[in-house]
Amino acid sequence: MTGDAAPLVEDLLALSAHDAPSGDPAASAEAVEWLAGRLNELGARVSRHAVSTGVVLDGRIGPGGGPPILILCHYDTVWPAGTAADRPAREEGGSAHGPGVFDMRGGIVAALAAVERAMPLERPVRILLTPDEETGSAGSSELIAQVAGDAAVVLVPEPPLPGGALKTSRKGWASYRLKVAGRAAHAGLEPEAGASAIDELVDRLLDLRGLSRPDTGTTLNVGVIGGGSAANVIADSAWADVDVRAMAVAEQERVHAALTGLTSVRTHTSASLETRVTRPPMERTPAIAAAFERANKIAAGLGLELAEGAAGGASDGNLVAPLGVAVLDGLGPEGAGAHALDECVRIDSLVERTALIARLIERW
């Protein structure tokens, strides 16, 4: 392991020793304290914003005045409390392995080290560390948009595409629960007195299939369904969770309008829709295209040539791109196994991305 790599790996393993499940502030407390301590070491002016899903750490570093470089990270992971102890992070075979190392603790460690490497800073840098990205950023989205509005550029050290390409567009994500109410009755004695919520739900879900347009990147997935009380009772309630992905804002709006306009057909049934998550697509705006070209020129000074591409998953970059802000997403280190047991980060890429983010901070 090179001298540059050792402190990065040490930090990554130290951070990954702490759980941070989304929506669980108590279980995330040690991770928050570790991150706050690291920000203090950088000389940051640290604020803590209490939101409905936990604590947002807000670190301001460098001189005041002028649009800041915003580094947008999330510290929450998909792993439940106890995972860090049950499956400790480790370094092995040129990679760091463990829960959350790829999504996105490797990116956090690279970003913090990059800020340190770029000192003394010639312009302000602001780092947001949020607790709820994995579940839709319900608590932190308002603050993210507020902070990003005046940023010179937003750096998002999420994992890159395979091969290391940056993500200059991302699908939007919307999550809904479709609920149907019906009328219960005995399935044998008087089925005609009932109105099956399950039958109505199934028919409406068949209608929803027509909203997908895979050729343009618009897809709907019914991932979970439920309803009814017993096999011999006409179901008086049923529900389904629907996931919608779209590459374009217009497509996301088309599907949303169709879902909110959905009505039941059967007598004595009614349908309602609950919107749970909405993240707009991160379209490749002129600001994003220009930011990528500028980043590529800066990267050339390190002997790097950047590539770009589209991602099916969403990030907090989706929340700020519609503001017209320049966004560079996918700046984190290469690895594999996001949200999986084989999650890992390549140490050589961790070193390289740290150098790249530092150079972007210095030259932007």
Alpha-carbon gap, residue 115 to 356, rounded angstroms = 11
The type of residue at 98 is G
The type of residue at 310 is A
The residues, ordered by sequence, that sit 6+ positions from 120 with a Cβ below 8 Å of its Cβ are 62
CA dist list (Å): 208 to 259, 279, 318 = 8, 20, 25
Nearest Cα to Cα of residue 121 among 59, 57, 69: 69
Catalytic residue selected from 92, 122, 133, 305: 133
Q: Are strands 308-311 and 327-329 parallel, antiparallel or unpaired?
A: unpaired
In Å, how far from its chain's centre is CA 86? 25
Sheet of strand 125-130, all strands in order from the earlier edge strand to the far edge? 45-51, 54-61, 125-130, 69-74, 153-156, 327-329, 166-170, 308-311
Q: Identify whether 133 is a catalytic site residue.
A: yes
Q: Residue 64 CB: number of other CB atoms within 10 A?
A: 9
DSSP state of 276: E
Alpha-carbon gap, residue 231 to 82, rounded angstroms = 38
Alpha-carbon gap, residue 62 to 306, rounded angstroms = 27
Positions marked active-site: 133
